[in-house]
Amino acid sequence: MGLQEVWFILIAVLFTGYFVLEGFDFGVGMHMPILGRGRGEVADTRRRVLLNTIGPVWDGNEVWLITAGGALFAAFPEWYATLFSGFYLPLLLILLALIVRVCAIEWRGKIDDPKWRRRCDMGIIFGSWVPAVLWGVAFANIVRGVAINADKKYIGGFFDLLNPYALHGGITTALVFALHGAVFLALKTSGEVRRDAVALARRLAIPTVVVAGSFVLWTQLAYGKGWTWILVIAAAAALLAVVALTSVEREGWAFVFTTVAIAATIVLLFASLFPNVMPSTLDPAWSLTIENASSSAYTLKVMTWAAVVMTPVVLVYQGWTYWVFRQRISTDHIPKSIGLKLGAK
């Protein structure tokens, strides 16, 4: 195995980690209007519970995307250039949504005003739903292939990216992240919020199995390889296990299996893509591969040594963060805001 294959695998690992960790962050934000329902103090307290479940970790989870993007730029610059120029509008929308989400989470409690908090909540919802859908659309198009010419440039339009397979991918990631987030909230909360999260996870489980199961099957039949049937079976079995586990309120194991389902699906996408990194639908000879899109051997060697040194440090630190903040949260742990104490409207 050469360094090009190693870095293709490492980028797949980074995106898998991002979607597993940021996936439940998106799910929490997507559920703000459902699990954060109510009026006045009740709604505000429930929404603060939801945000506190991801409060210590959400920004660390986003680092996986930054690292994946940096690794993509350094290891496969041609892939990075074609991807970010060709998918400019959807990736810009993802970036805009993530910025809105960051600002909304960070600034929500800075002004003690109910209207301000509602606007921030809308920003969190927007910043969670948009990436949850568009990441699926983007990765489905990468696997399917796009109109790349001999100069390694994407010559299609935005609406060419909205094909049936890609839209199916977007619905799949949205549903899977919503289920992942609901199970995470059931695992991290107690009391009424936990009961509602468990009930929501039960309602989401079966439609997620149907939509995600059909997407991975479509991917396998159209783009997969013989050995990737293992990943299809793993993803399907994991989702079926989530259906059973949510019905008996075993949210810990359910979270393990939503993680397995996401990981198996992302690995399936990358495995179906290999050795291409962006197939061309115009001429297979114009496809970007791990060979014609990669950096020099020296660059890959330097990057490999940096990854060997730094990756264990990052993993240990992030694992320690999750361990420290492992306790459940309930509405009893949330103090009243000053404005509500004073009877602000």
Beta bridge partners of 132: none
Residue 297 lies in a domain: no
Per-residue DSSP letter, 343 = T
Pair 97, 126: CB distance under 8 Å: yes
| pLDDT values of the chain reduced to their tens digit, one per residue, 345 residues | 789 999 999 999 999 999 999 999 999 999 999 998 877 788 888 999 999 999 889 888 999 999 999 999 999 999 999 999 999 999 999 999 999 999 999 999 888 888 999 999 999 999 999 999 999 999 999 999 999 999 989 998 888 999 999 999 999 999 999 999 999 999 999 989 999 999 999 999 999 999 999 999 999 999 999 999 999 999 999 999 999 999 998 999 999 999 999 999 999 999 999 999 999 999 999 999 999 999 999 999 999 998 888 888 888 988 998 999 888 988 877 777 654 443 333
Tokens linked to 226: 């013989």
Cα 308 to Cα 306: distance, rounded to the nearest angstrom: 5
Q: What is the residue whose two structure tokens read 């094909």?
A: 163
Residue 336 lies in a domain: no
Pair 223, 201: CB distance under 8 Å: no
Distances (CA, A) of 135 to 23, 107, 273, 276: 11, 25, 16, 19
Residue 14 lies in a domain: yes
Q: How many domains does the chain have?
A: 1
Residue 159 lies in a domain: yes
Residue 26 lies in a domain: yes
Q: Which domain holds residue 82?
A: 3-207+278-289
Distances (CA, A) of 259 to 139, 151, 187, 303: 18, 39, 13, 28
Residue 156 lies in a domain: yes
Residue 343 lies in a domain: no
Pair 146, 161: CB distance under 8 Å: yes
Residue 243 lies in a domain: no
